[in-house]
Amino acid sequence: MVIAGVVIDSKDEKKLKRIGVKDSKALSPKRREELAKKIEEIARNIVVLRVQPCKIDSYRAKGINLDKIEAMKMAEIIEICGAKKVFVDSLEQNSKKFKELILSFLQKKNVELVVENYLDESIPVVSAASIIAKVNRDEAIEEIKKKEGFDFGVGYSHDSRTIEFIQKLIKERKGELPSYVRQSWITTQELKKKSLQQKLKDFFKKEEKCKEGENES
């Protein structure tokens, strides 16, 4: 999980518009990298938090869901940035509820907090933060690919290469997955469950063949 905050002077919002920032999902990886460099030149401050998968697993084991984890980390970024007015793209459909969640983790309440859906499409500084976060996530993914020598795609459940890679790890490491794979991810859990079911099927098939061999003898 990668979350970013970008701080700009209000007068520099036009500069972000001029360079063409938009929701990171609407940009190619190359374009995101180009814009990230320009954002770094314009921004007064940039804060990036990488929450490691093992840390997320630790939170999930304590019953803390992903929305709470992200709200907690967003509150950390807000505290570090020290901006007077903050825009946050809501992760929940109920943006008011998500705003209250962030506020519950803030120590300093004297901040004007605007939390709405799809702000990464309409507010340039939020678009800039989404670009910075995505570029950092892409870098982390590339580091793992180089380490493992396997192109597993984008690291999301809709990517068949990602699924193939996790299946490969489960088989080769007998279920003991590396720290960069989130154990609490439902995709990981489902793939481990399927692997176990397949092992049980194979085991019972062998048992049946053994019994058939004994009966024939």
Please provide residue 87's backbone torsions phi and psi, each rounded to the nearest 5 degrees. -110, 130
Question: Which pLDDT value is given to residue 88?
Answer: 95
CATH number for the domain formed by residue range(s) 2-144:
3.30.420.10
51 CB contacts (<8 Å, ≥6 apart)?
1, 2, 3, 69, 73
pLDDT per position as a tens digit, 31-54: 999 999 999 999 999 999 999 888
How many Å apart are CA 5 and CA 81, to the nearest integer? 7
pLDDT beyond 50 at 204? no
**Is 150-208 a CATH 1.10.10.460 domain?**
yes
Question: Which pLDDT value is given to residue 14?
Answer: 94
Q: What residue ranges do the domains of the chain occupy?
A: 2-144, 150-208
Q: Do domains 2-144 and 150-208 have the same CATH topology?
A: no
pLDDT per position as a tens digit, 68-92: 999 999 999 999 988 889 999 998 8
pLDDT per position as a tens digit, 98-149: 999 999 999 887 889 999 999 999 999 999 999 999 999 999 999 988 988 8
Question: Which of 56-60, 109-113, 139-143, 203-207 has the lowest average pLDDT?
Answer: 203-207
